[in-house]
Amino acid sequence: MSEWTIGIVGGSGIYAIDALEDAAWVDVDTPWGRPSDQLLTGRIGPVRFVFLPRHGRGHRIPPGDVNARANIFALKAAGCTDVVAISAVGSLREELPPGQFVVVDQFIDRTVARPSSFFGPGLVAHVSMADPTCARLAGLCADAATAAGAKITRGGTYLAMEGPQFSSRAESLLYRQWGCDVIGMTAMPEARLAREAELPYALVGMVTDYDCWRGEGEKVEVAAVIAQLGANADLGRRLVIELARSLPAERIPSPVDTVLDFALITAPDARDPALLEKLDAILARTLARQP
């Protein structure tokens, strides 16, 4: 088997990966509650995959109610080495039309009502989010998208909004002024939590619409989004197959694998034992190397 175990977080329109061999849905629970759905485990060739539909099968869970802590913790506990999010996004740029794929490399977080960290009172940690995605994993995803036949843009800034309503026109225009390229409702705090869990993270945004910045009469409607989702989702699933084919046989360690070595600030004798236990799957490596 490969040294890679890839967690796939499927966004709107991607609720399963049909190409998985030895596929099985597995019930999981976490100290942070239940994730969005069962985990679908399997492999493509020698590469093991763990798939999680972010909104649950049938799209039951709205963006603000996605339990991102449980989702990321479940993927970590399942042995994932890396996480790829495949997400529907709106476009804030004329040159990113519906059907375009964007491999995101930056985020602006405008969510306000979601727990954004595994850590808290009794165990404080500060991870760097200067470069919130893994350049190596993002590059592999971009190459896989190209091989799958997608039109791909490498690099872009994702504006994470609270939702579930779409943007006002004034907001959409403001986000363009900020230099944002795409907009969505789910990448944050997901990307933050993946970093805290020492999971290299990449996000492939599948453009479904132009948001509402282009002028009077422009607006986002679910019917149009759903119409684009089908074509995007087929390409997204092919991307996963191409990614499995293209992964190097050896997974060279990533700097993200060890970020907690430099992030924990609470003195060992002041740490909350209950929170330490709750974070066992995330902290096992870090605590094992400390005296």
Catalytic residue among 211, 269, 272, 280: 211
| Residue 211 annotated in active site | yes
pTM (two decimals): 0.95
Cα 239 to Cα 148: distance, rounded to the nearest angstrom: 5
Residue with tokens 């060890």: 258
3-state secondary structure of 239: helix
Please name the amino acid found at residue 176.
R
Contact 104, 154 (CB under 8 A): no
Question: For residues 232 and 87, which has the higher predicted lDDT (pLDDT)?
Answer: 87
Q: Give the tens place of pLDDT for each residue, 119-174.
A: 999 999 999 999 999 999 999 999 999 999 999 999 999 999 999 999 999 999 99
Rounded mean pLDDT of the chain? Answer: 94
Residue 218 sits at φ, ψ, to 5 deg, of -80, 130
CB atoms near residue 88 (< 10 Å): 24
Q: Give the tens place of pLDDT for each residue, 18-39.
A: 889 999 999 999 999 999 999 9
Q: Give the tens place of pLDDT for each residue, 97-121.
A: 999 999 999 999 999 999 999 999 9
Q: Give the tens place of pLDDT for each residue, 214-257.
A: 977 677 777 777 778 887 888 999 999 999 999 999 999 999 99
- What is the set of domains in the chain, with CATH numbers? 5-289 (3.40.50.1580)
Catalytic residue among 181, 209, 269, 280: 209
| Residue 209 annotated in active site | yes
3-state secondary structure of 272: coil
